[in-house]
Amino acid sequence: MKIVVKIGGSVSIGEKGPDFSYFSRLLPVLEGIKRKNQLIIVIGGGKLTRAYGKSIEKFGLARNEKEEIFIKLIEANVRFLSAMLKMKPIFSLDEIRPNTSGVIGGIVPGRSTDANGAIAAKRIGADVFIKMTNVDGIYTKDPKKSSSARKLDKITFAGMKKLAVKGSPNKYGVLDRTAVQALSSAKIKTIVLDGKEPKNILKALKGSAIGTVIEG
């Protein structure tokens, strides 16, 4: 299979960098997947970029200047994960070919790591895109803000486009519009799941009912 896995920074990256306990559980899972499949891994910035962003709020930097800084911070996560898994670090979408495997993160201002992963999935013709995040799927509303929020087991890309936001650095939501558009145009099955338990990736690949499936 051709698989793209996005590891949300919200579950994997603390204010000081990669969470040792989390990656100790995640790395063996990814090692097993990459032995038998073509794999691209996408890593976010998590609390590292959020904390840094908060610390430079009052300096008056332009949005694109701040995003360039965040991209460099995420590059450290890419290099870390690449080294641990002995995979190629990818810093430009131009490097991606149909047979490419590797690790990517932030690339250019104005585009989320989710979107970079979705575009990469489209370029390799991925069979599935898995988003690991800090919630257990897609909800009708923000579950942190509304008690009437309902988790969706399945949703079409058309429906997802209505829920997705354009977003901004550190605030792109579970899956932003650019990512959804790329995945929709290539008709790539997408699964958004609770990434706090790394083995959930294996359950999703085996077809278990987990998270939210986006397709159609």
Q: How many domains does the chain have?
A: 1
- If you write DSSP's letter for every residue of 185-205 in order, what string do you get? HTT-EEEEEETTSTTHHHHHH
Q: What is the pLDDT of residues 143-159, one digit of tens each?
A: 778 888 899 999 999 99
- Amino acid symbol at 181: Q
pLDDT higher than threshold 70 for residue 169: no
Which residue in the block uniquely carries the two structure tokens 């650095």?
169
Return d(Cα 117, Cα 113) in angstroms, integer: 6
Q: Which two tokens mark 139?
A: 């909800």
Q: What is the pLDDT of residues 48-60, one digit of tens each?
A: 999 999 999 999 9
- Amino acid symbol at 213: V
Q: What is the pLDDT of residues 60-93, one digit of tens each?
A: 999 999 999 999 999 999 999 999 999 999 999 9
DSSP three-state, residue 14? strand
Structural domain boundaries, residue 100: 2-214
Give the pLDDT mean for 6-30: 97
CATH code, domain carrying 118: 3.40.1160.10
At 188, the pLDDT band (50, 70, 90 cuts) reads very high
Return d(Cα 176, Cα 183) in angstroms, integer: 11
pLDDT higher than threshold 70 for residue 180: yes
142 or 215, greater pLDDT: 215
